[in-house]
Amino acid sequence: MAENIIKFNESYTCEVSGEYFEYQVEYTSGEHVEWCASVYHGAVLKGKPSGSIASNTLKGDPLKQYIVSCIEDIIERGLGIDE
């Protein structure tokens, strides 16, 4: 990832199963965004989803919310998240 890295922690409860997850996120800002999350269920690492956004025009809270939505959709669908 690039030099200007933004980090935050968040949690999510699945709508269907009710399972509770915590995740840590690192992402870059600018025209090309890269993000990576570490998703935990309890203290156990369950997955490390990541992604990128080309030709990005978002910044600040709208960019953070977009990334949160991506991660929570991945968790909800169980994509790359170990059971």
Residues with Cβ < 8 Å from 15, sequence gap 6 or more? 76
Bridge partners (DSSP) listed for residue 26: 7, 36
Examine residue 70 and state whether it is found in any structural domain, yes or no: yes
pLDDT value at residue 81: 83
**Model confidence over 5-64: pLDDT tens digits?**
999 999 999 998 899 999 999 999 999 999 999 999 999 999 999 999 999 999 999 999
Q: Within 10 Å of residue 31's Cβ, how many Cβ atoms?
A: 10
In the chain, where does DSSP find H-type helix?
60-77
Domain assignment present for 83 = no
Among the residue ranges 20-24, 37-41, 65-69, 74-78, the one predicted with the least confidence is 74-78
Question: Does 82 reside within a domain?
Answer: no
Q: Is residue 48 part of a domain?
A: yes
Strand, helix or coil for residue 71:
helix
**Residue 23 included in any domain:** yes
Residue 21: count of CB within 10 angstroms of its CB: 20
Structural domain total, the chain:
1
Counting runs of H as helices and runs of E as strands, what totals does the chain give? 1, 5
Pairing, β 50-53 against β 5-13: unpaired
The whole domain housing 70 covers 5-77
pTM: 0.90
* In-domain check, residue 62: yes
* pLDDT tier for residue 3 given thresholds of 50, 70 and 90: low
**pLDDT of 2 over the 70 cut:** no
The reply to whether 66 falls in a domain is: yes
